[in-house]
Amino acid sequence: MNEVANSNSPLQAFFDKSISEIKIFQSCEVSALKKPIKAKEDDSYIFDLSCIKKIAVVGKEARIVVEKYFEISPINLFQWTSVGSGGLICLAKDKIVLVNSYDGSLIDGFTNAIPSDPKKHIVQRADYSEIALSGPLASVILEELVPVPSSAWSQTGLLCSSLAGANVILRKVNNQPNHLRCIIQPADTHYVLKAMMEINRELNGHLGCIFSYLNTFQP
């Protein structure tokens, strides 16, 4: 049975239709390169990861229920906690964002085991866009669009900041400055990506899809 999409990546418009095709990943319709690439360390890349599902757990007992389910304690504010190939971000004492694992099991397992309890916590869809940056582009983006001191970053490489005038959640993957993940509000995605694409072109960079990203970084 064919998988049906219930959302679309807002980055589809940036892909060249002659070298891409429509695919579905985690119930999201994306533009996928017909020939997935594998990133080279010295080249610049932007990857569309908007199809990686996210949910928010909100409410007075949000942190308690997430800590208990994942057997993690404590979950610290504005820190990244890895769970397999996914993880979670505590944005407030009553709001935690779960970022799905590549195989979808993180969120599927959580939502199947933890139903909403309106008096304590609510589990809801979080429609964020997400991109990854790798290579020299990542460092240039930080220097030109995120002018903050290194001390502003959390111990786990997380930063809630402004990028090109939009509020974003940035994460240095494995605390490395040449591999960033960036979570953006959908309404800001086009503007932010356009600014990044201009810099990427100056660096002769490339645009990749989720499958190219997994081809490069999945263990």
- Among all chains, which residue has been given the structure tokens 């960033």? 180
**Tens of pLDDT along 141-187?**
999 999 889 899 999 999 999 998 899 999 999 999 999 999 999 89
Bridge partners, 182 (sequence order): 131, 170
pTM of the model: 0.94
Domains defined for the chain, CATH in brackets: 34-50+128-217 (3.30.1360.120), 54-125 (3.30.70)
Average pLDDT over residues 9-14: 93
- Among all chains, which residue has been given the structure tokens 């609510």? 122
Q: Cα–Cα distance between 192 and 201 in angstroms, integer?
A: 15
3-state secondary structure 63-104: HHHHHHHHCCCCCCCCCEEEECCEEEEEEECCEEEEECCCCC
Helix axes 186-202, 136-145, angle to 10 degrees: 120
Q: Cα–Cα distance between 96 and 15 in angstroms, integer?
A: 32
**Tens of pLDDT along 73-89?**
889 999 999 999 999 99
